[in-house]
A and B are shown apart, each in its own frame.
Chain A
Amino acid sequence: MSGAIEHDDALALLRAMVRIRRFEERCVELYSAARIRGFVHLYIGEEAVAAGVLDALTADDDIVATYREHGHALVRGVSARSIMAEMYGVQEGCSRGRGGSMHLFDVEHRFFGGNAIVGGGLPIAVGLALARSMQAREGVVACFFGEGAVAEGEFHECMNLAALWRLPVLFCCENNLYAMGTALARSESEPDLVLKASSYEMPAWPVDGMDVIAVRDGARRAIEGIRAGGGPHFLELRTYRFRAHSMYDPERYRDKNEVEQWKARDPIPAFVERCAVTTDELAVIEREAANEVDDAVAFAEAGTPEPVTDLTRFVTSEPGRT
């Protein structure tokens, strides 16, 4: 169990987690009602990871995420309105409806996308960090990916390159134990992820991803190391996905008891109890989150589909772009 925390800081972390949870619960309803389509990958159960890591970053740091990135975008400050509108496929969406759930982008918030190719975001993160290094800009690039990415060649290429060039990348491996339906031990000859990362001469350690303070403190420690010139760091954030992989997942690959055991470690109620959050405080957070989601849905419902005549926009840059 991690250390003490100021009460206001605790409320901020709790607010972040609750916002993600309520936003995504609404996504499920909207998906069932066919208001949003495509793939929707829920982060429910894993909220402490995004809430904790992003709390340790500054507004100048860069973020590269995966297709399970609603939570990271929300906590980063991408508006719930623009995320919901993106899922509705309207031009008020953060990617103008061109990306959908898996491709949330907001350059103003230095949020360089949800990437739906497992491992595909890691080279981009290395490049963002290379530019920082060459431009002598401070700051770090936080790169999120699941443990499934560890089996990809791009993971190993990027760990090596980032360490070789001592680039300021915080590799955040969200280990939820299953790459879609494939358990880690069924896909890795060496399932110890920290050992793998360490073999690239990179500081690496495991973190309890169900404990938001542990996540925040682990990220802070890693970021301090990076800022001090220690090169890339690797965190294995041990967490669990409470819901299906995506929307078409009968969950034949995992035991119901296992899911229930992890749900007993739900990062939100445990944190409420531990930080002695009062009923009134929690009610305020819940009400704000509900209002935010209602407002986002109303905004998305009122959104405007992009004209079909604009179909081929953004394939190449428009005149004047440099």
Chain B
Amino acid sequence: MIAPGSTVKLTYREAMREAMREAMQRDERVFLMGEDVGRYGGCFAVSLGLLEEFGPERIRDTPLSESAFVGAGIGAALAGMRPIVEIMTVNFSLLALDQIMNNAATLLHMSGGQCNVPLVIRMTTGAGRQVAAQHSHSLEGWYAHIPGLRILTPATVEDARGMLWPALDDPDPVLIFEHGGLYNTSAEISESPGAVDIDRAAVRRVGRDLTLLTYGGMLPVTLAAADELAAAGVEAEVVDLRTLRPLDDETIVESVRRTHRAVVIDEGWRSGSIAAEISTRIMEYAFYDLDAPVERVCTAEVPIPYAKHLEEAALPSAATVVAAAQRTLGRA
């Protein structure tokens, strides 16, 4: 019996693992498949130990065939299973883009409502580890373009622990983007955590002077920027979008209407980004509440380079977020 209110310290990686373990225990239809999820323990060690606990039928190592095993997840979902498919990184997911876009996202509509696809696809996203251009991109905003998908970007240990179950409970395909830079972050969370509301953004810091809107791996960067701003006397509100599709317009607009200023921080490239979408929605829904143009802080439009100083220069940082915030306040 767990004492009410008792907590446990977990890393983001362990939180995802616990979420999978719990899902496998609760629902025999749930299974995990992907490259090296079993014997290797997962390329980021997320599934370490699950093979021993659940066996090779439910923790399935696959060949390096992203299209086949993602599509197999779709077929298994159509037949009543609840697959979790792991893709090593978002860059590799492009090898399965046909299945994700043309089948998972489309079958329900194309079949006139007959074929829903209750599939969860997990993958790593993001830069910051000097692994260069084919392991570092942030394409979650791209995926958020596609009707029929739900896009989740857990930024906290609690969300890593609590988003999987509602994702599996969703009758339609859900993509979970786990930022590689977050796996080693840790936090005290409840020992008996409930599901996270995957329809709503979360206000991570309350403030009155401006709204910083972000998600995933940029949340720690944005919170650090908010600390710096606070030291300079600026109270920034930080909104963690959590779900990039469908966007929680209500929380975004409610915050901006109070603060009258907004900066969107997005690890994706600027052109055609989710930051562009959010900025446009603020313009559409809260234009007359704004006291300054919406600012964006995005990744430089370059394939992520290997060299540490170049990679750092390409990515949003607390300093560039602070600078953008100051511009919206007319202090730059």
Give residues in A with beta carbon < 8 Å to B. 62, 91, 93-99, 103, 105-107, 112-113, 115, 117, 120, 122-132, 134-135, 153-154, 157-158, 160-161, 164, 312-318, 321-322
Give the A-B contact count at a CB cut-off of 8 A.
148
Q: Which chain B residue lies CB-closest to A99? A: B110
B81 to nearest A CB, angstroms? 5
Name the residue of chain B whose CB is nearest to the CB of A160: B63
Residues of B within 8 A of A (CB): 31, 57, 62-63, 65, 67-81, 83, 98-99, 102-103, 107-116, 118, 147-148, 150, 171-172
Question: In the assembly, what is the distance between CA of A124 and CA of B103, in Å?
Answer: 9
B172 contacts across to A, CB distance below 8 A: 316-317
- Chain B positions within 8 Å of A115 at CB level: 103
A50 and B114 CA atoms in complex are apart in Å by 23
**The residue from A134, A160, A317 contacting B116, defined by CB atoms under 8 A apart:** A317
Contact of A120 with B103 at beta-carbon distance under 8 Å, contacts A131-B81, A161-B62, A161-B72 already known:
yes
Interchain CB contact under 8 A, A128 and B78: yes
CB-based closest 7 A-B pairs? A127-B75, A123-B71, A96-B112, A131-B79, A157-B68, A105-B111, A157-B65
Residues of B within 8 A of A122 (CB): 68, 71
| A-chain residues with CB within 8 Å of residue B63 when the two chains form the complex | 157, 160-161, 164
Do the beta carbons of B79 and A321 come within 8 Å of each other? no
A105 close to B112 (CB less than 8 A): yes
Given known A126-B72, A315-B147, contact A120–B171 (CB-CB < 8 A): no
Q: A134-B81, A317-B172 are in contact. Are A113 and B68 (CB under 8 A)?
A: no
A3 vs B233: C-alpha distance when bound (angstroms): 90
A312 to B148, CA, bound (A): 10
Given the known interface contacts A158-B68, A314-B108, A314-B113, the answer about A124 and B80 at a Cβ–Cβ threshold of 8 Å is no
Complex formed: what's the CA distance from A193 to B36 in Å?
A: 31
How far is it, in angstroms, between the C-alpha of A322 and the C-alpha of B168 when the chains are bound? 10
Q: Say whether B103 contacts A126, CB under 8 Å.
A: no
Do B112 and A131 touch (CB < 8 A)? no
CA distance A181 to B75 in the complex (A): 30
In Å, the complex CA distance between A157 and B148 comes to: 25
The interface residues of chain A lying within 8 Å CB-to-CB of B76 are 127-128, 130-131, 134
